[in-house]
Amino acid sequence: MRRLFITVSILSLFAPLAACDIVTTENNATSAQGARWTDTNVQALREAIDRRAAHGLDHLNFAMPKSGQEEMTEVALRYAGALAQGASDPTKLYDVYTVPRPRVDLRAGLAKAMADGKLGAWFESLAPQSNEYRALSKAYLALDKQAKAPGAAIPATAEPIEPGKRDSRIPAIARQLVASDYLDQAQAGGDRYSEPMANAVKRMQRDYGIKPDGVIGADALEILNLSDADRARAIAVAMERMRWLDRNPPATRIDVNIAAARLSYWRDGKLINVRRVVVGEPKTETPQLGSPIFRLVANPTWTVPRSIEEKEIAGKGADYLRRNNMTRKDGWIVQEPGPKNSLGLVKFDMKNEHQIYLHDTPAKQLFAEVQRQRSHGCVRVENAEEFAAMLARDEGIIDEWNKARATGKESFVPLPREIPVRLLYQTVLFDDGGEPVIRADPYGWNDAVSVALGFKAGRGARLQGGGGDIGP
């Protein structure tokens, strides 16, 4: 399997961090009234706010008041909250967001930092302390300076680039195709528009609803052409999304990056496994959830949701149902266990009210796609049988699991302990050298975050839906 990027590196941000233990409640009675805004503390606050570009917060106004103890405290708490929990609230930006977030007693922390004379250090401790966050900060500062000059976009000309032609823009285009996972690094090089590059462009064009002719015209350049300002905005959004997350996630967990369609399995604080997934297509997006797996299901049945029945199956008749091993039970269409079942041979049952779960699929070909946003919202796991066996073995229930599979009937195997799952959305990954790489924003979900951070909304083509099947 080809891989340029360490897709999971972005998820290593979520490994336990010791620098800032964020606990207690937001409504704690402790206040900052026990400490005074001395000249030293005021200067420390001013210096901390002046450094906010290191966190991608320089487009927000944290104006220092001219006087007033309470006014100074409110500014300090607002900036501290932006570092500790994010400057925006994902539960207000999205219809669904249940991923666990930091809980911070900011007033108590502020009071202690002021009393100890360590206000600057306290502010810095609130943001994520990972190497990845620091790499994003460094990249943002560099790009922010460049973005104030003319953008380093790939120049657009009236003449499109056709396969076989030479053009000075080809190296820059190839780099972005590699960054987007459409082209192997080994196939990039030179200023000639090669056949492998043309095939990569055609795949990209299909994903974005453009005629797949391989000609690099204005439409293709709009997808590929990120300016320094575009990159800076994407990195600022990536840092904000990290600040939303609990600094001490469970040591054993499953993280799914919806934007990159990748799953990472952590066991006792160590990354054990990474694999591809298929997630919801645009308009049936996979939501950002925190929801545990509580049991494995062998040979699952699938009760077709009304929405899929009405849009995908209505009017297809009895022959269609029979060919797909479907029957009607109590007014619902139910697909019986078997190789044609849309859930495949394994389901990972999760606890949430949105009917979102992980599962196998008979549509194995979708895992070969670059943009794997092709489902109706659930998460399809590559080599799901292998992954289920891995979890069962790690949880000490492999014998029970093998017996359940052998029945050929729908069978439930409870986990001895629930395994937390976080469905996250992150469009900045890291290459082999640890440098940030901007990937696609398939749902356009970065726009709301960037506006909340004081940027203009993003621009560019959006991933087109379709190409999937009736499965969840």
| pLDDT higher at 278 or 23 | 278
Query: What pLDDT sits at residue 229?
Result: 87
- Those residues with Cβ within 8 angstroms of residue 227's Cβ, 6 or more apart along the chain or in another chain: 147, 151, 152, 153
CA dihedral 340, 345, 350, 353 (to 10 degrees): 20
pLDDT of 11: 45
Report which of 235, 246, 248 is spatially closest to residue 55, judged by C-alpha positions.
Answer: 235
The full DSSP string for 142-208 is: HHHHHHTSS--PPPP-SSPBPTT-B-TTHHHHHHHHHHTTSS-GGG--SSB--HHHHHHHHHHHHHT
Chain position carrying tokens 């029979």: 322
**Res. 16 pLDDT band, cuts 50 70 90:** very low
Per-residue pLDDT for 93 more than 90? yes
* pLDDT(296) > 50: yes
Least confident range from 147-156, 180-189, 436-445: namely 147-156
Q: How confident is the model at residue 31 (pLDDT cuts 50, 70, 90)?
A: very low
3-state secondary structure of 155: coil
In this structure, are strands 436-438 and 332-335 parallel, antiparallel, or unpaired?
unpaired
Angstrom distance (rounded) from CA 106 to CA 70: 14
Q: Which residues of 410-431 are buried (b: 16+ CB within 10 A; e: fewer)?
A: bbebebeebbbbbbbbbbbbbe
Whole-angstrom Cα distance, residue 128 to residue 144? 20
How would residue 5 be classed by pLDDT, with cut points 50, 70 and 90?
very low
Residue type at 371?
A: Q
Please report the pLDDT score of residue 466 as a whole number.
Answer: 63
Report the interhelical angle of 39-50 vs 69-85 (nearest 10°): 40
pLDDT in tens, 398-452: 999 999 999 999 999 999 999 999 999 999 988 777 788 888 899 999 999 999 9
The number of angstroms, rounded, from the C-alpha of 55 to the middle of its chain's C-alpha atoms is 19
pLDDT at 226: 80
Does pLDDT of 472 surpass 60? Answer: yes
DSSP 3-state assignment of 270? strand
Radius of gyration (C-alpha) of the chain in whole angstroms: 25
Average pLDDT, the chain: 88
Residue 149 has pLDDT above 80, yes or no: no
For residue 143, give Cα distances in angstroms to 139, 307, 472.
Answer: 6, 44, 40
Model confidence over 317-340: pLDDT tens digits? 889 999 999 999 999 999 999 988
pLDDT tens by residue, 46-84: 999 999 999 999 999 999 998 889 999 999 999 999 999
Structure tokens at 112: 């202690």
> In the prediction, which pLDDT does 161 show?
93
**pLDDT at res. 34:** 58
Q: Which two tokens stand for residue 153?
A: 């976009």
Q: What's the pLDDT tens digit per position in 356-404?
A: 999 999 999 999 998 899 999 999 999 999 999 999 999 999 999 999 9
pTM of the shown model? 0.86
For residue 30, the one-letter residue type is T
